[in-house]
Chain A
């Protein structure tokens, strides 16, 4: 009897801990929550948007999500709300193309406060189910533990493809063909340097991409829609550091060229037009029809000059014939940023061919270290660019990528604390209307992002899990045997 009494008392105590918000003070303002999910547009298949109060004085937080059909989802927690995964997805699927209302209450020392409800818009456009990124400390030149990871966007599951605990070196430049991991490229730096390629779901092959006719190793890969070609740049990259500037690091090229790799023939295709000594060419990407190559180009600095703020990249385009693997004969400038003393980096066309998103900064090409860097959207049908104000912040927005259906954009932003890069998502409709961006959901976002001293680097959508065998890959990397890239020169070269 005594034991039963204790159990009952314990249960009552536990219920008391949960607390009710019935007698809360009604606030007329919107809640300040972390991450800021107020009024965002979300894909129907996204993981629950759990959040905390932005300030750390709240003792508990309570949220009720309701829809116009009378459905209701409730969560309460000490640090963060944590919606049930299944219930969340059910609610979202019931409200595809509709909106939800979120009522947040927070308990402070003086009791509960209930805030004005805010909406969430559930887009009928789904998002690619997986995201691939590199996790690395936002450092200077030396690296510690890092790896390439994939994350299920419908849940919170994250697991590594490969980590540098498996070999000595650094891993970067993961790339997929329109998010399809059957075509995959991965770059390894260090004593076991290699480019790992997987074509049409085949086995991984390690390549030595350095040739005697190119500047160095191939970097910044972008797959041709056919899967036959990969556009690369070769960059002689250096770093310098700021002594008294909010930006810590300046990464710059002292030379760079473009080339296209023919996967089937194992040949690098070169063209004198994109291999000029007086021009830095970088960040090549194929147009969705595969008949053009977009890239960034800047007039080269005189040798030895460190006037880095004089390097301004324009957005350019050159034709490419996938049937013959030949480049066009002229270069068009699509965005003449240098005339405005600005610089374009990371051009990424939407796969439906409507838009091209790029990063604009004051100078240079490594915009992740530029706090002023913002995203811009180029309408390829009109040739007009506009800043993506709805998604941009006061801090850095940089690398970005489109979802396979060209309706979602993932991008890196440093708006959270000015240093650690986080992935954000925004919706872009057929007219180019951009929604407010939201941060990659986590079960307890504040704890998660505060404890993780790593940047999310090069976020890439993938349409399914990569099924990448990290152990096999590490054996290939450690084996040190490499297949060489061949070179085919254009006749006019």
Chain B
């Protein structure tokens, strides 16, 4: 087989290997980052929702990103999607120039995008933006030179800008005419693009700098997604390099060069990916995931293998211990953060309050849980809503008897793909007091709720736990938490009184 024949066979294999590597990484090593992403959006199959997204520059890429992110509920599906997208970016990069001996470099943009996705706040819309830009560039490269191409370019720039946002500048760069050719029209397009952005900055309700750097490539509105830009611009720089060294690059070479260059880049960038990965965050996210899905036994197995020390891990660990009636007896077998490890004060962010809210909910502190979840959702920095929070808010409103508010959340969840069935099952419960009373979860949570109203704020007091337990001694979770609270604060007197009360009532 000739060198070209080997390359034809080896190149798809390399792409496949790359895609599988991405799949395995996100599926095995980084699955909870994907769950984390999924919980901070609410993808609705609704015209108004779609319009809200696509009416802004970059909206189509953003919409596709959000659409794909909903599948991150299942990490392996999410990993498959990311693998496919990054492989597609590599394949499109490969089409732009003759890579020859530098074949391995065609993986660099994809690997940089992989690096970008290691950040839990990097959004998939950014990947779609690069992919769509490359797709448009590839389509344009097949057009013959001439007026038609120039006119289409003129039209494509604003359309592409609206679809993918400022990353489309890559498309513009890739269309750069060869030296010695007429370039006035090319710079004309550049002026047009700049003028368009200046005009848009007066029309759209977003700061001007975000029109230039991207509205929704990253969850933090003030963060410039540097890695995404490096990945996008690397395509231009690398193709320019390959073009500059065209004779040497495309000269016939031994077939081993293709896999060798791939291996070099793959190993180099692979090490970078591995070292940049935030496995510490992954562990924290795993605890949050397990709490969200109430996997108490899995949490107990996890903490046996590795005792958590961070706030979320300890909160979830204590909740799982309490759910299995082990908290007070085994409290000091595990790391504790004082009473902050039981029910931490509510912070103003979107992440740390959610496991605490789970504990509030399980304890029957429904109003407290409701406030905590609501605030967490409001704190999502890109103003998205959360399917996880909507579901919980529907539940808290149902338990508290605010049926019309619960209906509102449930009706919204009916427009999702993955929460629709649950919403359909829950809607008939609204107003049906008997069905709620008999419900295995809502029935006892409603019963355990506070009988007397009092004011609360960010800090949970022992009186709040006492009220739960002494009014409903069958609330074993409150009993566990109350005992743990006294043990952690060293309040022997109250601890003894609690044990006495329990021995008398049980």
Interface residues in chain A, defined as those with a beta carbon under 8 Å from any beta carbon in chain B = 137, 139-145, 147, 160, 162-163, 165-168, 239-246, 248, 250, 306, 308, 416-420, 450-451, 453, 470-471, 474, 478
A144 near B377 (CB under 8 angstroms)? yes
Partner of B205, one of A144, A163, A245, A246: A163
Which residues of chain B are near A145, meaning CB under 8 Å? 383
- Of the listed stretches B97-105, B110-118, B315-323, B402-410, chain A binds B402-410
A166 near B368 (CB under 8 angstroms)? no
Does B379 belong to the interface (CB within 8 Å)? yes
Bound state CA distance, A142 and B411, in angstroms? Answer: 24
Partner of B453, one of A143, A245, A306, A419: A245
Which residues of chain B are near A418, meaning CB under 8 Å? 402, 404-405
Which residues of chain A are near B348, meaning CB under 8 Å? 141-142
Bound state CA distance, A158 and B208, in angstroms? Answer: 23
5 more CB-based (< 8 A) A-B contacts, given A306-B455, A451-B48: A165-B221, A242-B455, A243-B367, A244-B450, A417-B408
Which residues of chain B are near A147, meaning CB under 8 Å? 205
Bound state CA distance, A303 and B236, in angstroms? Answer: 66
Smallest CB-CB A-B distances: 3 pairs? A417-B404, A240-B455, A244-B450
Which residues of chain A are near B385, meaning CB under 8 Å? 453
| Nearest opposing residue in chain B for A242, CB measure | B453
How far apart are A275's CB and chain B's nearest CB, in angstroms?
28
**A137-B378, A241-B456, A417-B405 known; A474+B367 contact, CB < 8 A:** no
**A139-B378, A142-B378, A243-B453 known; A166+B205 contact, CB < 8 A:** yes
A419 near B405 (CB under 8 angstroms)? yes
Does B306 belong to the interface (CB within 8 Å)? no
How far apart are A467's CB and chain B's nearest CB, in angstroms?
15
| Nearest opposing residue in chain A for B207, CB measure | A166
**A144-B377, A419-B405, A451-B48 known; A243+B205 contact, CB < 8 A:** no
| Nearest opposing residue in chain B for A306, CB measure | B455
A248 near B202 (CB under 8 angstroms)? no
Which residues of chain A are near B412, meaning CB under 8 Å? 451, 453
Bound state CA distance, A245 and B449, in angstroms? Answer: 11
**A240-B455, A306-B455, A417-B405 known; A142+B205 contact, CB < 8 A:** no
Interface string of B357-380 (1 = CB under 8 A from A): 000000001011011001101111
Partner of B404, one of A245, A308, A416, A470: A416
B378 near A451 (CB under 8 angstroms)? no
A244 near B404 (CB under 8 angstroms)? no
A140 near B371 (CB under 8 angstroms)? yes
Which residues of chain A are near B207, meaning CB under 8 Å? 166-167, 474, 478
Does B451 belong to the interface (CB within 8 Å)? yes
**A142-B378, A474-B207 known; A240+B408 contact, CB < 8 A:** no
Number of A-B contacts (CB under 8 A): 100
Which residues of chain B are near A163, meaning CB under 8 Å? 205
Bound state CA distance, A453 and B415, in angstroms? Answer: 15
Bound state CA distance, A243 and B451, in angstroms? Answer: 9
Which residues of chain A are near B383, meaning CB under 8 Å? 144-145, 165
Bound state CA distance, A166 and B433, in angstroms? Answer: 45
How far apart are A238's CB and chain B's nearest CB, in angstroms?
9
A240 near B404 (CB under 8 angstroms)? no
Q: Give B368-400 interface residues, CB cut-off 8 Å to A.
A: 368, 370-371, 374-375, 377-380, 383, 385
Which residues of chain B are near A417, meaning CB under 8 Å? 402, 404-405, 407-408
How far apart are A124's CB and chain B's nearest CB, in angstroms?
36
B205 near A241 (CB under 8 angstroms)? no
Bound state CA distance, A240 and B458, in angstroms? Answer: 9
Cross-chain pairs A/B with CB under 8 angstroms, 17 sampled: A137-B374, A141-B375, A142-B375, A143-B378, A165-B221, A240-B455, A242-B367, A242-B454, A242-B455, A243-B453, A244-B449, A245-B453, A306-B455, A417-B408, A418-B404, A450-B411, A453-B412
Q: How many residues of B contact A (CB 8 A)?
A: 40
How far apart are B350's CB and chain A's nearest CB, in angstroms?
9
A244 near B455 (CB under 8 angstroms)? no
Does B206 belong to the interface (CB within 8 Å)? yes
Interface string of B447-486 (1 = CB under 8 A from A): 0011111111100000010000000000000000000000
Does B46 belong to the interface (CB within 8 Å)? yes
Bound state CA distance, A160 and B205, in angstroms? Answer: 9
Which residues of chain A are near B405, meaning CB under 8 Å? 417-420
A243 near B455 (CB under 8 angstroms)? yes
How far apart are A396's CB and chain B's nearest CB, in angstroms?
13
Interface string of B189-207 (1 = CB under 8 A from A): 0000000000001100111
B378 near A244 (CB under 8 angstroms)? no
Which residues of chain B are near A243, meaning CB under 8 Å? 365, 367-368, 450, 453-456, 464
Which residues of chain B are near A245, meaning CB under 8 Å? 453
B367 near A140 (CB under 8 angstroms)? no
How far apart are B360's CB and chain A's nearest CB, in angstroms?
11
Which residues of chain A are near B449, meaning CB under 8 Å? 244
Which residues of chain A are near B378, meaning CB under 8 Å? 137, 139-140, 142-144
Which residues of chain A are near B46, meaning CB under 8 Å? 451
Bound state CA distance, A241 and B369, in angstroms? Answer: 12
B454 near A140 (CB under 8 angstroms)? no
B375 near A470 (CB under 8 angstroms)? no
A248 near B371 (CB under 8 angstroms)? yes
Which residues of chain B are near A160, meaning CB under 8 Å? 205
B402 near A240 (CB under 8 angstroms)? no
| Nearest opposing residue in chain A for B353, CB measure | A142
How far apart are B344's CB and chain A's nearest CB, in angstroms?
16
How far apart are B351's CB and chain A's nearest CB, in angstroms?
13
Which residues of chain B are near A241, meaning CB under 8 Å? 367-368, 371, 455-457
| Nearest opposing residue in chain B for A163, CB measure | B205
A140 near B375 (CB under 8 angstroms)? yes
| Nearest opposing residue in chain B for A478, CB measure | B207
Bound state CA distance, A163 and B453, in angstroms? Answer: 36
Which residues of chain B are near A144, meaning CB under 8 Å? 377-380, 383
Which residues of chain A are near B404, meaning CB under 8 Å? 416-419
Bound state CA distance, A163 and B201, in angstroms? Answer: 14
Which residues of chain A are near B454, meaning CB under 8 Å? 242-244
Bound state CA distance, A137 and B390, in angstroms? Answer: 13
**A166-B206, A450-B411 known; A250+B452 contact, CB < 8 A:** no
A240 near B456 (CB under 8 angstroms)? yes
| Nearest opposing residue in chain A for B203, CB measure | A471
Which residues of chain A are near B407, meaning CB under 8 Å? 417
Bound state CA distance, A417 and B402, in angstroms? Answer: 8
Partner of B402, one of A419, A451, A453, A478: A419
Which residues of chain A are near B222, meaning CB under 8 Å? 168
Which residues of chain B are near A478, meaning CB under 8 Å? 207
| Nearest opposing residue in chain B for A239, CB measure | B457
Which residues of chain A are near B365, meaning CB under 8 Å? 243
| Nearest opposing residue in chain B for A244, CB measure | B450
Bound state CA distance, A223 and B377, in angstroms? Answer: 36
Q: Give B42-84 interface residues, CB cut-off 8 Å to A.
A: 46, 48
**A243-B368, A419-B405 known; A142+B206 contact, CB < 8 A:** no
**A139-B378, A470-B205, A471-B202 known; A420+B455 contact, CB < 8 A:** no
Bound state CA distance, A420 and B409, in angstroms? Answer: 12
